[in-house]
Amino acid sequence: MPEIEPHVPNNALFGKYDLGRLLGCGAFAKVYHARNVRTGQSVAIKVINKKKLSNSSLASNIKREISIMRRLNHPNIVKLYEVLATKTKIYFVMEFVKGGELFAKVAKGRFTEDLSRKYFQQLISAVGYCHSRGVFHRDLKPENLLVDENGNLKVSDFGLSALTEQIRPDGLLHTLCGTPAYVAPEILSKKGYDGAKVDVWSCGVILFVLTAGYLPFNDPNLMAMYKKIYTGDFRCPKWMSNDLKRFLTRLLDTNPETRITVDQIINDPWFKKGGIKELKFHDDDDDEIKLDKENPQVKSLNAFDIISFSSGLDLSGLFDGPDNSRGIGERFVSTEMPEKVIETVEEFAKVEKLRLKRTKEWGVELEGQNGNLNAGIEVYLLTEKLVMVDVRRCGGDAVCFNNVWREKLRPRLVN
């Protein structure tokens, strides 16, 4: 019996998603429930209006959020399935978490220590995993924690997250961000901070809220609240166990140097009470990590990267206007290793008397032809035997680019 093709509504987004009710909205994005018309799977779609991203820093935040979410694959972190785009909008297609915000649940009344511990263990599992991937959330709060239909916690909203690459030479992050009541005291000092340590502080505030039903640091006057945070002025309610009170003082230690770490958290008696399976922050079976360990100089691509390089899903064009000069270029797969590709480009540059500048480990920029040529070339490792070569015109004259690239350099690289 022939398989019946599912009915696709005429107004389905990209012919794939049937957009439903509005789940929430912010200054720059709206989140909708949607259904994959072919599989019936429920998803959440975050819709970002490009016109509202006139501020370049906002566009950078979106790019960073994509970069961060593609690194993460953990049962307690909301999954990003794909990113789609039109001329006016960007769409994040994400896992739909049916239970809603943890904040809505705790707003009805404080949790028992056992239930708080369950959520806190899952939170630390997710946060420790993020830190192992060089990701720091920086805006952890109950509103950014979702609960699925099975009662499992999911961390969401990585819009304010930071990557290890953003750390300055002093070893610290310097961007002031976060939600006032959950912000760590060292952020208020404006002298730089450790991303992992501020996440731990926020986790401490969350645990306090879950078990007490109110914030540890709160005041109608913002400066008065900041003073309480800076001095660590909070009191645990009498119904908390002594083990939990002691644990919270370690989490909400105003000195980041002596504040408890994730590794110490998972060995704390209160955290371990009732039994918990070993938390594993590194996945030894992760193909991306294996490739990086074997050849750390080569940037490897996971499945999301490869999808995003396909036509129509090129993330480099998500934020640019129609006049983007980088719009001309080509991507192709080669069996040559990255070092061989770059070596061929270097030899070509010498013959053609072009200026060559290294931009990354396996990336170069070519300039010449009386200023008419400005091209960038980057190499990405797909598998142990395949690479992807990304060639782009960064400026200059399109005719010159086509002449140099298609007529001269391309035949040397494509095999």
What is the CATH classification number for the domain harbouring 180?
1.10.510.10
CB 251 within 8 A of CB 210: no
DSSP state of 112: P
Q: What pLDDT score does 314 carry?
A: 39
Q: What is the DSSP string of 32-86?
A: EEEEETTT--EEEEEEEEGGG--SHHHHHHHHHHHHHHTT---TTBPPEEEEEE-
The verdict on residue 7 lying in a domain is no
The verdict on residue 4 lying in a domain is no
Query: Is there a single domain that holds both residue 132 and residue 252?
Result: yes
Query: Is there a single domain that holds both residue 120 and residue 245?
Result: yes
| pTM to 2 decimal places | 0.64
Query: Is there a single domain that holds both residue 91 and residue 234?
Result: no
Query: Is there a single domain that holds both residue 223 and residue 327?
Result: no
Number of H helices, E strands in the chain: 14, 14
Query: Is there a single domain that holds both residue 303 and residue 384?
Result: yes
The verdict on residue 281 lying in a domain is no
Query: Is there a single domain that holds both residue 238 and residue 333?
Result: no
Which residue, among 411, 342, 347, 403, has the nearest Cα to 377 in the 3D structure? 342
Query: Is there a single domain that holds both residue 177 and residue 245?
Result: yes
Query: Is there a single domain that holds both residue 309 and residue 219?
Result: no
Query: Is there a single domain that holds both residue 261 and residue 115?
Result: yes
Longest dimension (CA), the chain: 79
321, 350, 395 from 372: Cα distances, Å: 22, 17, 8
Q: How many residues appear in the chain?
A: 415
CA angle 93, 99, 105 (to 5 degrees): 130
The verdict on residue 5 lying in a domain is no
Which amino acid is it at 414?
V
Q: Is 273 exposed, middle or buried (0-12, 13-18, 19+ CB in 10 A)?
A: middle
- The pLDDT averaged over each successive group of 10 residues in the chain (415 residues) is 47 87 79 91 89 64 75 87 85 88 87 94 92 82 88 79 43 49 81 83 94 90 88 92 96 94 93 73 44 39 44 40 50 80 91 87 85 86 71 83 85 77
Which residues is 329 bridged to in the sheet?
392
Nearest 5°: phi and psi at 276? -150, 140
Q: In whole angstroms, what is the distance from residue 168 CA to residue 165 CA?
A: 8
CATH of the domain at 387: 3.30.310.80
Query: Is there a single domain that holds both residue 245 and residue 325?
Result: no
Last residue of a domain, one of 68, 95, 122: 95
Which amino acid is it at 33?
H
Last residue of a domain, one of 37, 69, 95: 95
Query: Is there a single domain that holds both residue 80 and residue 154?
Result: no
Residue 102 in 3-state DSSP? helix
| Domain count for the chain | 3
Q: What pLDDT score does 55 carry?
A: 56
DSSP state of 4: P
Active site residue ranges? 139
For residue 209, give its domain range: 102-272
Q: Who contacts 203 (Cβ-Cβ below 8 Å, separation ≥6)?
A: 120, 123, 124, 127, 140, 251
Nearest 5°: phi and psi at 290? -60, -45
Query: Is there a single domain that holds both residue 168 and residue 291?
Result: no
Task: Please give the structure tokens belonging to residue 42.
Answer: 């429920």
The verdict on residue 282 lying in a domain is no
Last residue of a domain, one of 61, 95, 129: 95
Which amino acid is it at 261?
T
The verdict on residue 332 lying in a domain is yes
